[in-house]
Structure formats: structure tokens, C-alpha cells
Amino acid sequence: MRIPWIEIIDFRSYPRLRFQPEPGLNVLLGPNGQGKTNLLEALGVLLTGRSFRTPRLAELPAWGAERAQVAGEVARGGVIRVVRLAIGRQGPRAELEGQLCPWARAVTFCAPDLGLLSGPPQARRAYLDAFAAKVYPAHAVALGRYRAALQQRGRLLQQGVGRGAALEPWDQQVAELGATVLGRRLQALEALRGETQTLSGLLELLPGAVELEYLATAPLQADPLRQAEALRAALRARRGEEVARGLTLVGPHRDDLGVRLAGRDARAYASRGEQRPLALFLRLAEVGAIVHQLGAPPVLLLDDPLSELDGAARERLLAWLEGQEQAVVSATDAPPLPPRAAAWEVWRGGVAAAEPLGARVGA
């Protein structure tokens, strides 16, 4: 899929902008602070209704503006959907108005993704859950129901309810919903594993193979009913500790994703120079998995993906991106680009904040 055009009004640093990215690879060029990331963010909002930089939509309207507007087309094959969104500022909160395209998908990479390796387990769970929701939309619903049941069980634990019948129904709900969430995560992880093997040979971004492992707080079972029973048993086994601490200590909300690079735990041993390419690699692994599951490629929105890569790795990555249906990436310096890549210069202010350089670099 691709975005033929986008128009934004009062979005971050842009009073008004109409941008028509080309099919294939688009490279946004310019110094830091000129609006490249803001434009990538707007493209992501058009596709998903969310910002990849912040959960607070109230940050998106420009300073002094009551609302930001995002409109554009999303195309898949011969189908084109027009999307028009408004983000109204309501004090510290914001409200999203408009109809999203239900089949639009984006794969994004930005600075917060460095937390995939250096951050807490929550960051890796969020990565896996977000990907699972892209390929299995029902996962987001199941995850929401699991969190609601978990919250209710937590209230009872905080009240000191650890014995009797009061906790049993919530044990059952948490276990059954947790088994559903866990099953989808494992399916998503298996899809990612296949892509990491394929990409390792194609891109050679890293000094070794990438291995992914699900680290569960309860024994893993192939059968959903047995998985639910395993979670119930684990909850019962830690009941006393849970009552003492007032929280649920077992389940998908406490699990982690293990990442190994060249046989070593990347969470503990990956260098700073390896963390960024590895986080990028994990994002790129989503692309093929989405194609296999949904039959259509996502739009790639990558903020400064060339940092920490040597010249040869940059060339391989850009060549791979050129072969995608549509990728929009940012860079502070103009690297040697593939022949069919479109280069765009981005600066602050003006009626058109992004203009083509006038010729395809490398053509």
C-alpha cells in the first residue's frame, strides 16, 4: 500500500503542507529541527490515527491552534480510500475525529525504539503487542479485556482479598484471557522469527544472527485450555505473595521478549552502536510478516535509519527500501541513493515545507 498524497494544516511545525510522496523510496533531507520527523509523524497519523512519538495527541496541533487537520489518500492495489482526520485540543487532552482506513498498516522506526533493547520488559511487550495487533486485529480487543480483568483482580488484591470465593472468578478470567493474549503473541513471534532469518542474509546490518525468545512467567502450553490452566496454577502458587504486594505477578503483563545477537543477550550486552541497528532490524522484520499475513505491504516510515550504519550497510538498506511499495525515510546528510529513489529537501516555514530537489539523486 502507499500514500499518493497528504495535506496537513496546523500540524506541529507546519501551518499548511501538501506532500505527494512517490512510490518506492522517498528520502527527506535537511538539518535537524526542520520538520522531517513531524512530516513522518503526520504520515503515520494518516495511516493509524496514532503518533509514533507520543501517546498524547494534544501535542500535535501547532502552537496556538485549536486543532490539527490531516487528510490524504491511502491506496492498495486498485482501491483508494480518502481519509480526513481532525485532532482537536481539549485542554491537556485531544480528540480524534474522522474515519480511519481499516486496512492501512505502517511500520515505523524512531528514537524511542532504542528502548526495545535498553528499556524495561514493558517496551518489548508493547513492541510485540503492537505488531500482533497489525496482523491479528482481534489481539487489541483481547489485550484490552485482559487488562480490564487484571485491573479488577488487582483491586481485590489491594483490599487483601486472597482467600475464599471472591478472587476465583477473576483468576479464571485473567487465566483465560491471558491464554488468548499469550497465544497471539506466540503466533506473532513465530512470524517475526521467520523474517529475521531472511533479513539477516539480505541486509547484513548486524555482526551475527538475531534470535527471539518468549520469556513467560508461567509454563507455555500449545493448547489454549492447557495454557489457561497453567496460568491458573501459577496464580494460585503465588497467591500469598500477590496479596502481600497487592498486584498480579504472573501472566502476559509480566512476560518479556528475549533478544539474542550472535548468541549473546542483546538486552545486556549489545553495544550502543549495535542497539540502534538491532532495533531497526526488529522493525524491518515486521514488513515481510505483514505481507505474508495480510497480502499487502505496509508503508515504511523510518526516522534517521542510516545512523550507526557503515557505507556498505547503508547501500544494502537503501536498495532494499527502494524495492518496497513505499518507504519514506529521513536523513540529515544526502547519502548516495539508488537510481529510482526520490529525494526531498525539508525546511521550516513557507507555503510548501517540503520540495523536491529537482532531480532524482543518482538518476
DSSP β-bridge partners for residue 83? 72
Cα–Cα distance for residue pair 33/346, rounded to 1 Å = 10
Q: Which three cell numbers stand for residue 47?
A: 495511516
Question: In CATH terms, is domain 6-119+186-222+250-356 a member of 3.40.50.300?
Answer: yes
Residue 352 phi/psi, 5° resolution?
-115, 105
With a CB cutoff of 8 Å and minimum separation 6, the contacts of 340 are: 24, 25, 322, 360, 363
In this predicted model, what pLDDT tens digit does every residue of 36-87 receive, in sequence order? 999 999 999 999 999 999 988 999 999 989 999 999 999 998 899 999 999 9
Report domain extents, the chain.
Answer: 6-119+186-222+250-356
The whole-number pLDDT of residue 278 equals 95
Q: Are 17 and 8 in contact (CB under 8 A)?
A: yes
Check: pTM over 0.75? Answer yes or no: yes
Give the pLDDT band of residue 163 (cuts 50, 70, 90).
Answer: low
**What count of other Cβ atoms lies within 10 Å of the Cβ of residue 125?**
19
Task: Read off the pLDDT of residues 241-299 as tens digits, 9 standing for 90 and up.
Answer: 998 999 999 999 999 999 999 999 998 888 888 999 999 999 999 999 999 999 999 99
| pLDDT value of residue 355 | 42
Q: Which of 223, 123, 150, 149 is nearest to 182 (CA)?
A: 223
Q: What average pLDDT does this structure show over 91-117?
A: 87
356 band by pLDDT with thresholds 50, 70 and 90: very low
pLDDT category, 350, cuts 50, 70, 90? very low
